[in-house]
Structure 1
Amino acid sequence: MDDLMLRVHLLPDLVEPMALKDGVVVVIDVLRATTTITTALEHGAKRVIPCLEVDEARRVAAEHPQAVLGGERGGCPIPGFHFGNSPAEYRHELINGRTLVFTTTNGTRALMRCRAAAAVFIGSFVNLSAVCEAVRAFDSVHLLCAGTNGQITSEDVLFAGAAVHRLSNMQGDRFAPSRWNDSAQLAFEFWRCRVPNITREQVENSLRLSHGGRNLTSLGMQDDITLASQVDKFSCAPHLNLHSWEIRKS
């Protein structure tokens, strides 16, 4: 009998969608989709509608009055969109009360993997405690790393390890190491090694060394790394409604 309670999946393609059935999933794309979604909602966005493709996003936005388009391809803003994928862009005065139609290279694809789940939350360092609190009562928790173009990324694994650590501290025996899968154990050890004192500076330094961090630095977007490193800046745990396919604050 499988008595595992806490599982990390290092890439969406490494887990079958039906393996997520009846469990709660935390989707992780620290640099930058899940950080940006959380920021937009905290700054007043009414809802976020994730789309897989650029053309789909444009069609959906056309169907919703007051909608704005956000996202990226290859880390860069999409021509004709109102926003890119930088959390700094989603200021209150620009996003308050608006519907954000959002598409990214990796994060929104990870969300598509979760259609069979019982519940889906958005996780990043800026809402680490809130998302752990939101999922702690579920019997089966999956931490799903988005990766980058099919490659495992250390920034997502780092957050998964932080969440494993936090959940095990919150729930004791329910999330004891004996109830983790191997990837959860690897993520936890990586987190413990890279961020021993759980400071923002240690998180930021680790993110800068990651694949996503180096990519953002090469694009001149290194300030986004600082924003993504602000542990527990926000208190919301955005939740994906699997019927209406929209993300709202919880």
Structure 2
Amino acid sequence: MQLTIYFSPAEVAAVQPSDNDVYIVIDVIRATTTLTTIVERGASYVLIADMLEQAQQAAQRVPGRLLCGERNALPLPGFDYGNSPVQFAQLDLSGRELILSTTNGTRAFFACPEQSVRLAGCFYNAEAVCAQALHDAAERQGNIAIVCAAEVGYFALDDATCAGYLALELQRQHPALQVHESVLAAAALYHTYTPPKLLEYCNSARSVRKAGLQEDLEFCMRISQSNFVPQVLGRDVETGLLMIGVPI
């Protein structure tokens, strides 16, 4: 079993990825941390939209779904909620259906093969998502890839640093794991920018701080506090959007 890290979704398409592999998608500040929090709070599932128009149309088709999202860290006019894990952590979402569109994170799931296992990873669910990835990869006789959402298509320090931590956790749980040299680079970044030091250097943190959401940053740096691992369950028949939740 081999581990590879892609520092942006575009890198995935460039290598003709395998459907048998398991993909951990990271947008640590904040989409994958938010997704983990949402399912932790009892939501049935989250529909993730690549574009705002898709999200708005999906909300119109089925009244009662919570419309959530952001652009450039800011909540959107007319949406029920933004992309704040701190805010969602305070809600009871039992049985609720949500729609989420974010600047970077939700798009990364669409870059992975349609039939692959796609998991949402972050610091917050680090131990659990690594255990799930290893289990699924062994079951499918595939490899593991970590996909960084990046920032508007370009390298993002926060996602790459989180990828380094998850890579180290995967190796801790499975010492025989073979690693690509991309893993060595990401691990070095983690050792250099160990949280919360990371927040002093990454653009994502600056944008969120500027939006007045400092508490979100602190939340996103919490390590292995959740046992929930959101994953792509398929596509919603009515809207065509990817459905993310926890398998029953």
Q: Does 1:165 align with 2:176?
A: no
Whichever residue aligns with residue 199 of structure 2, its letter is L
Q: In the alignment, is residue 225 of structure 1 matched against residue 223 of structure 2? A: no
Which string of whole-angstrom CA distances, capped at 9 and with x for unpartnered residues, describes residues 110-150 of structure 1? Answer: 11101335200000111000100001131300100001112
Determine helix, strand or coil for the equivalent of 1:95.
Answer: coil
Task: Determine whether 1:193 maps to 2:192.
Answer: yes
Task: Write out per-residue CA displacement over residues 74-98 of structure 1, whole angstroms, 9 at most, x where no aligned residue.
Answer: 1111110000011122145453321
1:206 aligns with 2:205: no
User: When the two structures are superposed, what TM-score results if normalisation uses the length of structure 2?
Assistant: 0.89
Q: Distance in 2 between matches of 1:134 and 1:126?
A: 14
- Number of aligned residues: 236
Which one has the bigger helix percentage? 1
Q: Which residue of 2 aligns with 1:37?
A: 35
Pairing partner for 1:61 from 32, 43, 59: 59
Runs of 4+ in 1 over 6 A off after TM superposition: none
1:8 aligns with 2:8: no
| Structure 1 residue 86 corresponds to structure 2 residue 61 | no
Structure 1 gap ranges (5+): 196-202
Does structure 1 retain, via aligned residues, the 8 Å contact 2:42–2:92? no
Q: Which runs of 5+ in 2 are unaligned?
A: 237-241
Structure 1 distance, partners of 2:91, 2:149, is 30
Q: Is the 8 A contact 1:20 1:116 kept in 2?
A: no
Pick one of 137, 141, 144 that aligns with 2:144.
Answer: 141
* SS of 1:72 mapped into structure 2: strand
Task: Choose from 218, 233, 246 the match for 2:243.
Answer: 246
Local SS of the residue matching 1:90: helix
2:154 is aligned with 1:151:
yes
Give TM-score scaled by structure 1 length: 0.89
Q: Which amino acid in 1 is paired with 2:6?
A: H
The amino acid of 2:219's aligned partner reads L
Q: Is the 8 A contact 1:136 1:167 kept in 2?
A: yes
**Corresponding residue SS for 2:69:** strand
Question: 1:157-191 CA distances to partner (integer Å, 9 max, x unpaired)?
Answer: 11110111011111111x1xxx3222211001211
CA RMSD, 1 decimal:
1.7
Aligned position for 1:28: 26
Identity between Structure 1 and Structure 2 (%): 28
